[in-house]
Amino acid sequence: MSKIYITDTTLRDGSHTVSHKFSPEDVKKIASSLDAAGIDIIEVGHGDGLTGSTINYGFSPYNDFELVRAAASVVKNSKLAVLLIPGIGTVEDLERAQDCGANAVRVATHVTEADVAAQHVRAAKKMGLFTVGFLMMAHMASVERVLEEAKKFESYGADIVYCTDSAGAMLPVDVRDKISTLVQNLSIPVGHHSHNNLGLAIGNSLAAIESGATYIDGSLSGLGAGSGNTSTDTLVAVMKKMNYDINADLYKTMDASTNALIPVLESKGLKTNTNLDAMILGYAGCYSSFLLHSRRAAERFNVDVRDIIIELGNRKAVGGQEDWIIEVASDLSKLKNK
């Protein structure tokens, strides 16, 4: 089974949801949490890529280079990526981003226009950057055309090619057809980026992995344009449950949402509907009505509610065995205090 690498786009695609107003301090808080969680690549910057802060795309009070520099000051293990859309960002912008600490770039074009990125990809490789060819709006082209454009990115020297569902319009069958064709006909890895407009982001990400993609995108709490992206938190849980080989730590990824992202969003007057404790119920196979009781027991015994839920799942607890919740919480507390 191939190793799967996760790119988190909270601090780039997710910036659409805060009108591109993530501050350098916000970036530090979120990026450091993602780095600690073992996320492989962290993407930072304006939602529309380097120097996207314009009247067309929405102004940001902070330039991309401030944000990249902020992330670079706290990221120790993950690759730090920027998005570059030819015609918005330039090679000179990319050089400046590298000076600020970026070591990866995703060069993004419309799915039929990879040729406009030739100079940018070649320049990025000359600079020593980990370079991704990012074909946006992939639902708008046939399988054959997606492959044709992907081969262009490959010929320019890209390290990976992405089939990107920018509109959240693809069905799992579309993802399978396009990803499997790329995997079978390219000599470089293939990635996939989903949006959740049809509620299919996780399903499409899994379809991509099953078809051979080894790079998958997400964002904390599913933050992103439209209905958001694949939720990194949920993606990690599902991939752990399916025994995929990933670097991300489940609890630390969840904590990046609850302890880093959500407080930042709340400080900006925004709310999320994310309930990560409920997600753990599905991960553990634990009866849904146990959640409230488990939270109370966790507070009473000063233990992690997730550990209670996972142990109840391991015990295959069912309705009527609520007394186990107290027993499990008590046992965990004793282990913790040994």
Please tell me the predicted confidence (pLDDT) of residue 273.
67
Alpha-carbon gap, residue 234 to 194, rounded angstroms: 13
Find out whether 195 is annotated in a ligand binding site. Answer: yes
Mean pLDDT of 207-224: 96
Find out whether 12 is annotated in a ligand binding site. Answer: yes
Whether 322 shows a pLDDT value over 90: the answer reads no
Find out whether 287 is annotated in a ligand binding site. Answer: yes
Please tell me the predicted confidence (pLDDT) of residue 337.
85
More reliable by pLDDT, 171 or 337: 171
**What average pLDDT is seen over the chain?**
95
Listed residue (320, 315, 247) closest to 284, CA to CA: 315
Instruction: Give the number of other CB atoms < 10 A from CB of residue 300.
Output: 12
Find out whether 192 is annotated in a ligand binding site. Answer: no
Please write the tens of the pLDDT for every residue from 99-128.
999 999 999 999 999 999 999 999 999 999
Please write the tens of the pLDDT for every residue from 173-188.
999 999 999 999 999 9
Alpha-carbon gap, residue 254 to 246, rounded angstroms: 15
Please tell me the predicted confidence (pLDDT) of residue 235.
97
Alpha-carbon gap, residue 330 to 322, rounded angstroms: 13
Mean pLDDT of 308-314: 94
Question: Please, which pLDDT band fits residue 318 given cuts at 50, 70 and 90?
Answer: confident
Find out whether 193 is annotated in a ligand binding site. Answer: yes
Please write the tens of the pLDDT for every residue from 244-266.
999 999 999 999 999 999 999 99
* Contact predicate 109/73, CB 8 Å: no
Please tell me the predicted confidence (pLDDT) of residue 54.
86
pTM of this structure: 0.93
| Catalytic residue IDs | 16
Please write the tens of the pLDDT for every residue from 130-170.
999 999 999 999 999 999 999 999 999 999 999 999 999 99
Q: Which domains does the chain have, with CATH numbers?
A: 5-267 (3.20.20.70), 276-336 (1.10.8.60)
